[in-house]
Structure 1
């Protein structure tokens, strides 16, 4: 028997299985490291976009960002058509569009088809106009985010 454990001078079945297992662990670690780097880059991109927004949209976006982080921490920041969004499994669930950046009448809080929103009647709103974000609106938005995140 060789030092490596195999009777033919090679590795034993147990040693080969252990090496395959370790290789799989290393691949998983590399993927998770890349995923963590991508998540950090996505978060920085969203925060950068928010910082570029003119007031008062910047204040609304900052508040929404904090609200999503608190209400649905599993949702991760991700740019969505150049605007802040929050995603589950890489797919945007909720997003904010700056009315001032889009040269529109009002800003919009929207929910994509990936959200868990729904209604037994078969219809429901998928976006809301935002001119300001007071406590009453924040409470309703929090409920929507929790529902949308599933």
Structure 2
């Protein structure tokens, strides 16, 4: 799998990204009850990602960064133990379903009814992710932006 500079061998997050995530969680907790709920959701997602096999973890971390950068209004939370991202109404827009948890050949991002991906009478709602690359990053960013548009 391709990796980028400044990434550690064991995870896809750099030390600076880990620090920024922890800082954001602290900021959310400082905002009060609603902020604490968001921070708890963020921590639950990070904990779920940390428990994944290395290959799944790298992809999940990159998906998490793509969401944070392209759909900051989505709130991280776990959903059936999987990293998920919910809209302001609390409805899950999509989740990351890791291969290791379900014994499948590939991980997926799976969009739910709250995602705004409708395109005619039929459209895909699940996408397989075997590895992270610039092409995959671009597609995930496009899907996330479309889902919340």
| TM-score bracket, shorter-length normalisation | 0.7 to 0.9
Q: Distance in 1 between matches of 2:140 and 2:43?
A: 23
Deviation of 1:33 after TM superposition, in Å, equals 2.3
The secondary structure found in structure 2 opposite 1:74 is coil
- 2:37 & 2:116 partners in 1: Cα distance? 25
Q: Any idea what the Cα deviations from partners look like across 1:88-115, whole Å, max 9, x if unmatched?
A: 0211102101111211121111110110
Structure 1: gaps of 5 or more residues: 1-31
User: Number of residues paired by the alignment?
Assistant: 118
**Hey, what's the Cα distance between the residues in 2 that align with 1:54 and 1:104?**
13
SS class of match (2:118)? coil
Unaligned runs of 5+ in 2: 1-30
Matches within 5 A, 1:113-132: 113-120=113-120, 122-132=121-131
Give the Cα–Cα distance (whole angstroms) in 2 for the partners of residues 96 and 133 of structure 1: 14
Q: Separation in 1 of the partners of 2:55 and 2:34?
A: 33
| Post-superposition CA distance 1:91-148 (Å, at most 9, x none) | 110210111121112111111011011112x110000111112110110111110010
Q: TM-score, normalised by structure 2?
A: 0.76
Query: Rg bigger for which structure?
Result: 1
Runs of 4+ in structure 1 over 4 Å off: none
Name the CA distance, whole Å, in 2 between partners of 1:125 and 1:135.
21
Q: Deviations over 1:35-54 (max 9, x none)?
A: 11111101000001001101
Aligned position for 2:52: 53
Distance in structure 1 (CA, Å) of the matches to 2:40 and 2:139: 30
RMSD: 1.1
Alignment of 1:1-150 (within 5 A): 33-89=32-88, 90-120=90-120, 122-150=121-149
Structure 1: how far apart are the matches of 2:105 and 2:62? 20
Greater length-normalized contact order (CA 8 Å, ≥ 6 residues apart): 2
- What's the secondary structure of 1:128's corresponding residue? strand
Question: SS of 1:146's equivalent?
Answer: helix
